Amino acid sequence: MNSTPHIVITGAGAVCAAGLGVEMIWEEILAGRSHITPIRSFDTAGWPVAIAAEVQGVDNRTLVEDRKLHKTISRTDLFGLFAAGAAIRQSGLPEFRQRLEAPAAATFDDRSGVFAGSGGGAYESNYEFFPLLTAAAGDLPKFGRELCDTVNPMWLLRHLPNNVVCHVGIRHKFKGTNACITNHCAGGAMAVAEAAHAVTFAEADRAVAIGHDAPIEPETILHFNRLGLLAGDTIRSFDQDRAGTVLGEGAAAVLLEREADARSRGATILGEFLGSGCVTEALGVLDLRPDGDGLSRAIELALADAGVPARSVGMIVAHGNGTRASDASEALALRRVFGDDPPPITAFKWSFGHLIAASGVVDVTLALNCLRQGIVPGIPTLRKVDPELPSLPVSATAQAPRGDSALVLCRGFGGMNVALLVRADPAAPSV
Amino acid sequence: MTPHRRIAITGVGMVTPVGNDAATTWRHLTEGRNGVAPITGFDARGFPARIGAEVKDFTDAPAIDPKLIKYAARAHRFALTAAEEAFTDAGIRPEPDTAHDWGCSVGAGMMGVSFSELEAVHAFCASEGEFRSQGLLDPRFPADPIAFCRSQTNTGLALLTRHFQIRGYATAVHTACASGGQALGTALKVMRRGRARFMLAGGYDSMLNPIGLAGFCLLGALSTDNDAPERASRPFDATRNGFVLGEGAGFLVLEDWDHARRRGARIYAEFAGDGNSLSSYRITDSHPSGDGPIQAMRQALDSAGLTPEAVDYVNAHGTSTLMNDRSECAALRVVMGAHIDRVAVSSTKSCMGHLIAAAGAVEAAVCALAIHHGIAPVNANHAKPDPDCAIQLVLGQSKPLRIRAAISNSLGFGGSNSCLAFRHPAEVAAA
C-alpha cells in the first residue's frame, strides 16, 4: 500500500545480563562474551541446572530512580521501565513535548501509545503469602483473619502484569492506545507489531513498544528442565550438540513514529519498521510443528505486509533458542521461505540467554545495529552446525548483511510465531 | 481514509455467575436475578469479604476433549465451554481450509497457580520460614508438568486455538479489569487491518480462590456486606461500598460482515468501534474528572462513526466502588453532553459481580443481546440515588428499548480504559 506512512524507530533501550543499554550489549556481542553465569538469586546447591543470564550488580535505583516506586512494582517492571525510559529519552520526544503549548501537549499525550509484552505469571509473587501460610498452618479461616495484618496491602498491585504499561503512562504522560500482551515469549515482538500498526492506522501518532521479563525463578527452572528445555552450560543455536536454552532476564523497548514526524522534528532515525506476521500452530502450550509451518507462514505474512520479496532480506536474527525441536523446525521454515540461498543468519541468545517476553524486542534493537554497522555477528558457541539440519548460513564468526533489511524471528509457548521486518541505513550515525 | 471493514457479531457464548450459557445468563440478567452468595469453593469465613459471584454447577461442554481439560485451570474451562457455545451459536467454525483465516484474541486472568499447588511449594520449601529452593528437588515434591502447562500466561489461548484449530493471528492481553474489552478491541483492529476474516474473541477469569480474594481484600476494594450478599453489588447507589468478585467467561464469534450476510447468518449487532486509552493518573484511582475514560469513549464513537446522540444504551463498568462509579459518571456526562438525560445506563455487575478479565467480554456479549432483543437490562440494587451519579439508570426492571447503538466501558487497575461500540444491524444500512 503506497498511502500508508513509513514507520520509523527513533529510540531504543535495553537491559539484560550483557549490559545496560543497547550499545553496551552490542559491544559484548561483538566481543563474543557470554553472560551466562552461575545463578546467584537462589541457592542452586544440588540443582541439575544452575546457570542463567541474570542482571547482576545493577542497583535498582539505576534502573528506576524513584525509590518510592520500588515498593509497588516487581523486578520485571524495573527492567521494563528502564528500557522504555531509555527509548523515550533517546527519541527526543520529551524535549519536543516540552516546547508545545498546553492544548497541543494534551493532544500529544492522548496520541502517545504504550504496548508491552509482559512476562507476568511469576511464581515467586505468591511466596509473599508463605509467612501467613506458616502462621495459619492449614487453617483457612485463620489465613483469612490474619491476612491484613501479615501481607503487604499493595501485594496485588505489585504483581499486576500491566504495571509497565501503567507506569510508563504515568511517568512519561503517554495516555493513548495501549495493550499489555501476555502471550509468553511472543509478547514483546507482538508489542512491536501492534505499536507499529497503531501508528500506521492512525490510532496513535507514536508508541513505545516494550518487552520485559524476569523468569529466573526456582520453579520455572525446575519445570523447564524437567521438560527437557534447558541446557546445562550454554546455548548453541543450530549446533549438533545443542542441548536446550538458558533463561535470561531483562527488557528492551523501541519508540515508533511516522517518518514525516521524526524528520520534521529533526530526530535521529535508527531504522524503519517494514512489516510483521503473527500466527499460531494451534498445538497447545508446548508442542510445535516439526516442519516449521507456523514460522514460515509468519515470515510470508511479514514479507507480504512489507511488500518485499524474500530475496530482498539482508539478514536474519533467528529465534535460535538452542532446543533440539525449535532450532530444527526453524531451519526448515527458513529453507521453505528462502530456498537454498537464505541471507546470513545469526542469533543472540548465547550471550544473554532467552529473555522470554523480552526476547523479540532486544533482537530488534540489535538487528538495527547489525544493519547500520554492516555486521552480522557470529554465534561463538557454534562448533559444528547440526548436519541433520538443512544447510544454513550460520557461523561462529561475523558475516556481512547482503541488504539493508533484517528479519527478526520470535517463537513461544502456544505455538506462537512472530516475524518482524526492519530496515536501517548502513553507516548511519551510531547510537 | 478508507472505509472500515464491517464486522458482524454472529455468535455469543457465556459462562457467568447467573447462568452457564448465554441464554440463561441473558434471561437472569433481564429478570434482575442475583448471582452473589457466600463463597462455597473454599472456606472463606475468615476473610473480610466472604461473598462472591461464583459460577454454579459448572460442567464442561461435551464437545471439549477431556484430555485437554486436564491442561485447563478453572477459568480456561469456562473459556473453552463459552467459546464452544459461541461457535455453535454462530453456525460457523474453523475448518481445515479456513483455519488460517481465523484469529483469536483473549483477555486472560492473571492467576495461574492453584492454591493447593502453592501450599505444596510452601510445605516443601518454606514450612520452617525461610524459602529453601532445595525443597523443590525433594523426590516427593509433586512437580507436575501438566500443572506447569496450566499456569502459563497464554495457556488459555493455547488451549482455545488448539481445540478449535484457529491457526491465524493469536493474542492474549491482560490489563486487569479492562482485559476483556481490550481483547475485543484488539480483535476488531486485527480484522479491520485485514489480518483475519474471522475471530474468536473474549475473556475469562477466576480469582475466587484464597489468593485472588486476598489480593482484593488487602486493597479494601471489595464490599464486605457479608450478611446481605444479594444487595452487596449496587453500582451508582449512594451506599455502595465496593465490588463483588465474580468469575466466568464470555466469547463472541466475529465475522466479516459481507460474509455473514452472504451465508444468511443471524447478526446480533455490528461490532462498530473500539476506544482505548490510558488514564496515566494513579495505579488504582481514577481521575475524578473522568479523564481517560472520556478519551476511550470518544475514540469508540469516532471509530464507529457514531454521534453521542445515536447511543441509546450504555453498559457501564459500574463496579460499585465509590470512586469508579463517580468518575465514570463524570466521564459519561462529558461525552454525552445533554444526551446524558436520554441514554439508558446500567451496570450488569449489579447482578453478576465483577468478572475482572472476563468482565469486558461478557458485557460486550450483553450489549449484543440487548440490541438483538431490544431490552436494556436492569441496574439492580439501586435504592438511594447518589447526586454524583446523576444518570438515567435502568431501575426497577429491565426496559424494552429499541437500541440503535450501545457502548460498553471497561476501566482497569493500572489506568487502561476500554470502550466498545455496537450498532443495531438495521442501522447499518442507514449508516
Q: Check CB contact of A278 with chain B, cutoff 8 Å.
A: yes
Residue A330's pLDDT is what?
A: 98
A218–B280 C-beta distance less than 8 A: no
Sort out which chain B residues have CB atoms less than 8 A from A173's CB and list them. Answer: 280
Sort out which chain A residues have CB atoms less than 8 A from B171's CB and list them. Answer: 181, 183, 190, 278
Grid coordinates representing A251 are: 527488557
Instruction: Indicate the Cα dihedral angle A421, A212, A157, A194, nearest 10°.
Output: 0
Residues 6+ apart with CB under 8 A from A157: A72, A163, B219, B283, B284, B413
A72–B133 C-beta distance less than 8 A: no
Q: Which domain holds residue B239?
A: 7-112+152-426
A169–B415 C-beta distance less than 8 A: yes
Distance CA A285, CA A186 (A): 13
B134–A144 C-beta distance less than 8 A: no
Nearest CA in chain A to B165: A282
List A residues 187-216 in contact with B (Cβ-Cβ < 8 A).
187, 190, 194, 197, 201-203
Grid coordinates representing B54 are: 461464583
Provide the shortest C-alpha distance from residue B311 to chain A (in Å): 22
- Total tally of structural domains belonging to chain A: 1
3-state secondary structure B44-60: CCCCCCCEEECCCCCCC
Residue A224's pLDDT is what?
A: 96
Q: Please indicate, yes or no, whether residues B59 and B119 belong to a single structural domain of this protein.
A: no
A170–B172 C-beta distance less than 8 A: no
Sort out which chain A residues have CB atoms less than 8 A from B143's CB and list them. Answer: 222-223, 226
What radius of gyration, in Å, describes the C-alpha atoms of chain B?
A: 21
Residue A430 CB neighbour total at 10 angstroms: 10
Q: Please indicate, yes or no, whether residues B95 and B134 belong to a single structural domain of this protein.
A: no
Q: Is B253 helix (H, G, I), strand (E, B) or coil?
A: strand
Asked, for residue A152, whether it belongs to a domain, the answer is: no
B221-to-A132, B176, B185 alpha-carbon distances in Å: 21, 14, 27
At A86, which CATH number? 3.40.47.10
Asked, for residue B314, whether it belongs to a domain, the answer is: yes
Q: What are the pLDDT digits (tens) for A154-166?
A: 999 999 999 999 9
Q: Check CB contact of A133 with chain B, cutoff 8 Å.
A: yes
Grid coordinates representing A18 are: 550483557
Q: Please indicate, yes or no, whether residues B313 and B406 belong to a single structural domain of this protein.
A: yes
How much is the mean pLDDT over chain B?
A: 96
Q: Please indicate, yes or no, whether residues B129 and B200 belong to a single structural domain of this protein.
A: no
Which amino acid does the sequence have at A228? Answer: G
B341-to-A226, B279, B392 alpha-carbon distances in Å: 61, 26, 6
At B314, which CATH number? 3.40.47.10
- Best B124, B150, B280 residue to mutate vs chain A (most A CBs within 10 Å): B280
CB B424 within 8 A of CB B373: no
Q: Check CB contact of A279 with chain B, cutoff 8 Å.
A: yes
Provide the shortest C-alpha distance from residue B183 to chain A (in Å): 9
Q: Which of B206, B242, B247, B246 is nearest to B224 (CA)?
A: B242
Residue B31 CB neighbour total at 10 angstroms: 15
List B residues 308-367 in contact with A (Cβ-Cβ < 8 A).
none
Residue B128's pLDDT is what?
A: 84
Q: Please indicate, yes or no, whether residues B171 and B137 belong to a single structural domain of this protein.
A: no
Residue B112's pLDDT is what?
A: 83
Residue A154's pLDDT is what?
A: 94
Q: What are the pLDDT digits (tens) for A224-247?
A: 999 999 999 999 999 999 999 999
Q: Please indicate, yes or no, whether residues B52 and B131 belong to a single structural domain of this protein.
A: no
Mean pLDDT of A194-214: 98
CB A242 within 8 A of CB A236: yes
B122–A120 C-beta distance less than 8 A: no
Model confidence at A374: pLDDT above 60: yes
ipTM of this complex prediction, to 2 decimal places: 0.97
Give pLDDT tens digits along chain B (431 positions).
456 799 999 999 999 999 999 999 999 999 999 999 999 999 999 999 999 999 999 999 999 999 999 999 999 999 999 999 999 999 999 999 999 999 999 999 998 899 999 999 999 999 887 899 999 999 999 999 999 999 999 999 999 999 999 999 999 999 999 999 999 999 999 999 999 999 999 999 999 999 999 999 999 999 999 999 999 999 999 999 999 999 999 999 999 999 999 999 999 999 999 999 999 998 888 899 999 999 999 999 999 999 999 999 999 999 999 999 999 999 999 999 999 999 999 999 999 999 999 999 999 999 999 999 999 999 999 999 999 999 999 999 999 999 999 999 999 999 999 999 999 999 997 65
Q: Please indicate, yes or no, whether residues B11 and B126 belong to a single structural domain of this protein.
A: no
Distance CA A338, CA A400 (A): 17
Sort out which chain A residues have CB atoms less than 8 A from B71's CB and list them. Answer: 284-285
Burial class (CB in 10 A: 0-12, 13-18, 19+), A175: buried
Residue with cell 495505579: B283
Model confidence at A120: pLDDT above 80: no
Per-residue b or e along A307-329, where b marks 16 or more CB atoms closer than 10 Å to that residue's CB = ebebebbbbbbbbbbbbeebbbb
Residue B4 has what DSSP assignment? P
CB B351 within 8 A of CB B33: yes
Q: Check CB contact of B154 with chain A, cutoff 8 Å.
A: yes
CB nearest to A148's CB, from B48, B127, B176: B48
Provide the shortest C-alpha distance from residue B394 to chain A (in Å): 31
Q: Which of B303, B256, B251, B10 is nearest to B107 (CA)?
A: B251
Grid coordinates representing A188 are: 514483546
CB B331 within 8 A of CB B294: yes
Residue B264 CB neighbour total at 10 angstroms: 8
CB A251 within 8 A of CB A363: no
Asked, for residue A136, whether it belongs to a domain, the answer is: no
Provide the shortest C-alpha distance from residue B74 to chain A (in Å): 16
Instruction: Indicate the Cα dihedral angle B253, B256, B261, B263, nearest 10°.
Output: -70
Residue B4's pLDDT is what?
A: 79
Q: Check CB contact of B24 with chain A, cutoff 8 Å.
A: no
A51-to-A42, A244, A246, B40, B331 alpha-carbon distances in Å: 11, 12, 7, 44, 51
A46–B172 C-beta distance less than 8 A: no
Residue B430's pLDDT is what?
A: 66
Q: What is the DSSP string of A56-105?
A: -S--HHHH---HHHHTTS-HHHHHHHHHHHHHHHHHTHHHHHHTS-HHHH
Q: Please indicate, yes or no, whether residues B160 and B73 belong to a single structural domain of this protein.
A: yes
The angle that helices B74-90 and B155-164 make with each other, rounded to 10 degrees, is 30
Sort out which chain B residues have CB atoms less than 8 A from A360's CB and list them. Answer: none
Grid coordinates representing A295 are: 514460522
3-state secondary structure A230-286: ECCCCCCCCECCCCCECEECEEEEEEEEEHHHHHHCCCCCCEEEEEEEEEECCCCCC
B121–A42 C-beta distance less than 8 A: no
- Total tally of structural domains belonging to chain B: 2
CB nearest to A178's CB, from B131, B136, B276: B276
End residue of a domain, out of B133, B148, B163 = B148
Mean pLDDT of A207-214: 98
B100–A176 C-beta distance less than 8 A: no
Grid coordinates representing A374 are: 554492516
Grid coordinates representing A273 are: 519498521
Q: Which helix (H) or strand (E) segment is B326 a member of?
A: helix B322-336
Burial class (CB in 10 A: 0-12, 13-18, 19+), B263: exposed
Q: Which of B86, B142, B93, B91 is nearest to B114 (CA)?
A: B142
A153–B158 C-beta distance less than 8 A: no
Asked, for residue A150, whether it belongs to a domain, the answer is: no
Residues 6+ apart with CB under 8 A from A59: none
Q: Check CB contact of B73 with chain A, cutoff 8 Å.
A: no
Q: Please indicate, yes or no, whether residues B38 and B136 belong to a single structural domain of this protein.
A: no
Asked, for residue B431, whether it belongs to a domain, the answer is: no
B110–A282 C-beta distance less than 8 A: no
Distance CA A301, CA B77 (A): 32
Distance CA A279, CA B222 (A): 39
B170–A414 C-beta distance less than 8 A: yes
Q: Please indicate, yes or no, whether residues B71 and B42 belong to a single structural domain of this protein.
A: yes
Read off the pLDDT band of A122 (50, 70, 90): confident
Q: What are the pLDDT digits (tens) for B384-427?
A: 999 999 999 999 999 999 999 999 999 999 999 999 999 999 99
Burial class (CB in 10 A: 0-12, 13-18, 19+), B232: buried
Asked, for residue B1, whether it belongs to a domain, the answer is: no
Q: Are strands B405-411 and B313-315 parallel, antiparallel or unpaired?
A: parallel
Distance CA B304, CA B359 (A): 21
Q: Please indicate, yes or no, whether residues B388 and B409 belong to a single structural domain of this protein.
A: yes
Q: Check CB contact of B168 with chain A, cutoff 8 Å.
A: yes
Distance CA A214, CA A254 (A): 19
Asked, for residue A78, whether it belongs to a domain, the answer is: yes
Q: Which domain holds residue A284?
A: 7-122+159-423
Asked, for residue A302, whether it belongs to a domain, the answer is: yes
Strand ranges (DSSP E) for A82-177? 112-118
**Active-site residue list of B:** 177, 317, 354
Q: Check CB contact of A123 with chain B, cutoff 8 Å.
A: yes
CB A279 within 8 A of CB B170: yes
Q: What are the pLDDT digits (tens) for A278-302?
A: 999 999 999 999 999 999 999 999 9
Q: Check CB contact of B98 with chain A, cutoff 8 Å.
A: no
Asked, for residue A154, whether it belongs to a domain, the answer is: no
Residue B99 has what DSSP assignment? G
Distance CA A317, CA A377 (A): 10
Q: Check CB contact of B146 with chain A, cutoff 8 Å.
A: no
Model confidence at A429: pLDDT above 90: no
B277–A177 C-beta distance less than 8 A: yes
- Best A71, A111, A123, A180 residue to mutate vs chain B (most B CBs within 10 Å): A180
Asked, for residue A127, whether it belongs to a domain, the answer is: no
Q: Which of A350, A415, A423, A408 is nearest to A211 (CA)?
A: A408
Mean pLDDT of A191-210: 98
Q: What are the pLDDT digits (tens) for A61-75?
A: 999 999 999 999 999
Asked, for residue A135, whether it belongs to a domain, the answer is: no
Q: Please indicate, yes or no, whether residues B391 and B292 belong to a single structural domain of this protein.
A: yes
